[in-house]
Amino acid sequence: MRRCTRCHEPVPEGEATCRRCGCVQSPTSPQPTVESPQLVHTEVGQLRARIEVARRDLTVRKSRGRLLLAGVAIVVAILAFVGILSYAKAVLSYAQLEALGFEPDPTNPRAVRVFYTPACPGKLGFLRTSGGRSTEVLDRVHCDAQRPQQEFYWSWREADLRDDHVVVTYRKGLRLTQREWSREAKPLGKGVVEGQVVNAESNRPMAGVEVMIAGTPLKAVSDDQGQFRIINAPTGPQTVVAVATGFVGSEQKETVTEHGSLSLKFAISRTLDKGEIRFVLSWGDEPKDLDAHLTFQSPDGKSMETWWKERRDASRPPFLGLDVDGRTGRGPETITIRRVQPGTYRYSVHDYSNRGTEQSLALARSAAFVRILEGDQERFAFQADGKSVGTHWQVMEMRVKSDRPTFLPVDRYETKVQQTGTLTVALTLDVSGSMNEGGKLEQMKRGASSFLDELPLGAGIKAGIVVFGWTTGVACPLSTGREQLRQALSALRAGGGTPMAEAIRLSTGLLMPQQNTARFIVLFTDGLPDSRPVTLEAATVARRVGIEIWAVGTSGADIGFLQQVASSPDKAFYASPEKLRPIFAQIARDLKAEFYSQP
């Protein structure tokens, strides 16, 4: 069989053209057969060509694979080199130490000192874990041949006084190492720690406050009355801490005795807004009454003082006021600056209970403690020294320039027994119709008369009489004449309703023009006012302008309501009609004591 000379396809005999490629075949040309050496040679050559192409393709692919592997190896090597350099740089940036030790501060249970001797410059890592939270500080140290031993001082906030751990990270050769210090848990004892938690801004009980003994797992939560109790307290000096969410924690350092009971009172403050500063005074059971004073002097020299006689409205310049006036021991006595102003603030504490005593140690030994709060932390704290003589403790000064306060401790004690100026009283008496019953009107007149007898009228002290009932008005203007006041009392008669609010307004208007004097309203009633809300509003206005209100009730009077009217609950009294006379006399003696005390 013939084959095409071009494509080598078989060409049937008798045909002149190839069916596949269409080329013309010569019938006279000799056609090689399959067995022809020429055909075999051609097929072998084609096979070799294909093998060569495959070999070259394989070679190219191998070359590309080698290049890819080489590139990957180079990248891995570079990354490894960079990693090694980074690790070496990180490790070598730390200092090596020749010595390292820990020592709790014996004067502050909230602090620990870390002593170390660096062998080379570098940094140290301090990691503190407390209450499930971690805080890390990096401190750069240096090597000083003159003083190789250095220290790092770490102080905890009140809320962090639990089981604490400090981990120090430093270099040892070419690796980092760590050393840990833990606050040792105190062994349990047989003491009891109990007491109450109140709001420093209102003196009201606080529930849900966690009270704990530092360094122990012992804690309690205050109930609805603010009461708490911790048993099995360790004996000896202890730090007791009270914390609550949204409040600045408070702590007290006291000694627990075996089988003894330690009674504490905590006054904690809410977290303050920017620009606010709060002063919280607390003390022991004695003296019963310490008074906080905050004087503000503006850059132009004007001076204003805030204390229990001048509580002030903190919403008005200079934006400070007395929040709580404690009079029964322990405090708190709280003054708040709502908006810090440029000028000078001076804070002091006066021992009111021992006023007039020239050689008194009661204030110094009262365990008086002043906390200065800003934001969510305690900025400064001052403790009475326990040894200085005096009834007036100048605690500190705060100087403000461009809203930036600078605190300057003063810590000076002195005694200032002197006549403080003048004292003015408005006797505000109920002459409503019910006063005609049971001889109450006459008993009230005797009580008011004994009040006037106790006051040294004419020596810087004067009084007036305002009545409310069938008529409401000034029965006797302010006077130093005892006989004039007595005659006005004798002429009083009863009838009508109980317009107490109007009488308080009249008394406020009578006292307002009196400047540089202690101003008092002594209110008496035998029943309820015509309008409670209006009466409370009138009393609030009087207190805001610096007038102190004392209240006496009998018969149908509501002592709870009178406590709201009075400047403080301890200035409200209730007595039967026949016992009004000693009550009025005691109030007069208390007011007279104001005349011979330090401001």
Q: Given a cut of 80, is residue 580 above it in pLDDT?
A: yes
Whole-angstrom distance, CA of residue 461 vs CA of residue 480: 7
Instruction: Give the pLDDT confidence score for residue 160 in this predicted structure.
Output: 46
pTM (2 decimals)?
A: 0.51
Tell me the average pLDDT of the chain: 85
Q: Given a cut of 90, is residue 518 above it in pLDDT?
A: no
The DSSP call for residue 96 is B
Q: Given a cut of 50, is residue 598 above it in pLDDT?
A: no
Please state, as a whole number, how many other Cβ atoms lie within 10 Å of the Cβ of residue 175: 9
CA distances from 224 to 206, 227, 228, 252, 555 (A): 7, 7, 10, 22, 32
* Mean pLDDT (whole number) for 478-495: 92
Q: At what angle do helices 580-595 and 440-454 cross, to 10 degrees?
A: 20
* Mean pLDDT (whole number) for 191-204: 94
Q: Given a cut of 90, is residue 453 above it in pLDDT?
A: no
Contact 238, 219 (CB under 8 A): no
Task: Name which residue leads in pLDDT, 16 or 538.
Answer: 538
* Mean pLDDT (whole number) for 235-249: 92
Q: For 284, phi and psi rounded to 5 degrees?
A: -85, -165
Task: Name which residue leads in pLDDT, 28 or 85.
Answer: 85
Task: Name which residue leads in pLDDT, 460 or 398.
Answer: 398
Instruction: Give the pLDDT confidence score for residue 24 in this predicted structure.
Output: 66
Residue type, 54: A
For residue 475, give both structure tokens.
């029965």
Please state, as a whole number, how many other Cβ atoms lie within 10 Å of the Cβ of residue 1: 9
What are the DSSP calls for 360-402, one per residue? --TTTTTT-EEEEEETTEEEEEEE--SS---SEEEEEEEEEET
Q: Counting beta carbons within 10 angstroms of the beta carbon of residue 180, is it exposed (0 to 12), middle (13 to 18) or buried (19 or more)?
A: exposed
Task: Name which residue leads in pLDDT, 282 or 186.
Answer: 282
Q: Given a cut of 90, is residue 309 above it in pLDDT?
A: no
**322 falls in which pLDDT band (50, 70, 90)?**
very high
Percent of the chain surpassing pLDDT 70: 86
Contact 275, 403 (CB under 8 A): yes
Percent of the chain surpassing pLDDT 90: 46
Task: Name which residue leads in pLDDT, 400 or 358.
Answer: 400
* Mean pLDDT (whole number) for 157-175: 69
Highest mean pLDDT among 21-30, 132-141, 181-190: 181-190
Contact 568, 328 (CB under 8 A): no
Q: Is 496 left (phi over 0), alpha (psi -120 to 50) or beta?
A: left
Start-to-end CA distance of the chain, whole Å, equals 142
Contact 279, 200 (CB under 8 A): no
Instruction: Give the pLDDT confidence score for residue 115 in this predicted structure.
Output: 78
